[in-house]
Amino acid sequence: MAKDKNLKKKGVGTSIEGMLLKSKQMKRISNLYQQVCSIDNLKLADQKARKGKLKSYGVKRHDKNRVENIHELSQILKDHTFKTSTYNVFKIYEPKERLIYQLPYLPDRIVHHAIMNVLEPIWMNIFTADTYSCIKGRGIMGCANKIKHHLKSDKSGTKYCLKLDIKKYYPSVDHDVLKAIVRRKIKDQELLLLIDEIIDSAPGVPIGNYLSQYLANLYLAYFDHYIKEVKRVKYYYRYADDIVILHSDKAYLHHLFKDIEQYLRSNLKLTVKSNYQVFPVEKRGIDFVGYRFYHTHTLLRKRIKLNLCRRISNINKMKLTPEQYKIEISAQTSWTKHCNSRNLMKKITLNEEI
Min mean pLDDT across 27-31, 67-71, 222-226 is at 27-31
pLDDT at 12 over 50: no
Q: Residue range 202-215: average pLDDT? A: 96
Per-residue pLDDT band for 78 (boundaries 50, 70, 90) equals very high
pLDDT at 330 over 60: yes
- Report the alpha-carbon distance of residue 257 to residue 164 in Å, rounded: 9
Per-residue pLDDT band for 108 (boundaries 50, 70, 90) equals very high
pLDDT at 288 over 90: yes
Per-residue pLDDT band for 5 (boundaries 50, 70, 90) equals low
Could you tell me the pTM of the whole model?
A: 0.88
Share the mean pLDDT of the chain: 91
What is the predicted pLDDT for the residue at 333?
A: 83
Q: Looking at this protein, which amino acid is placed at residue 102?
A: Q
Q: Residue range 340-350: average pLDDT? A: 89
What is the predicted pLDDT for the residue at 353?
A: 53
Q: Tell me the percentage of the chain whose pLDDT exceeds 70.
A: 91
Identify the CA nearest to 179 among candidates 152, 215, 210. Answer: 215
Q: For the chain, where are the alpha helices, taking DSSP H only?
A: 2-9, 16-19, 33-37, 39-49, 57-63, 66-78, 110-124, 139-153, 169-172, 175-183, 189-199, 210-219, 221-225, 250-268, 281-284, 302-316, 322-330, 342-348
Report whether 29 contacts 119 (CB < 8 A).
Answer: no
Residue-wise DSSP of 81-116: ---PPPPEEEEE-SSS-EEEEE--IIIIIHHHHHHH
SS3 14: coil
Q: Looking at this protein, which amino acid is placed at residue 351?
A: N
Identify the CA nearest to 173 among candidates 85, 124, 111, 241. Answer: 241
Q: Residue range 334-343: average pLDDT? A: 89
Strand order in the sheet with 277-280: 235-239, 242-247, 160-165, 277-280
Per-residue pLDDT band for 209 (boundaries 50, 70, 90) equals very high
Min mean pLDDT across 7-21, 191-205, 294-308, 319-333 is at 7-21
pLDDT at 21 over 50: no
Report whether 129 contacts 227 (CB < 8 A).
Answer: no
Q: Looking at this protein, which amino acid is placed at residue 289?
A: V
pLDDT at 113 over 50: yes
Per-residue pLDDT band for 19 (boundaries 50, 70, 90) equals very low
pLDDT at 154 over 90: yes
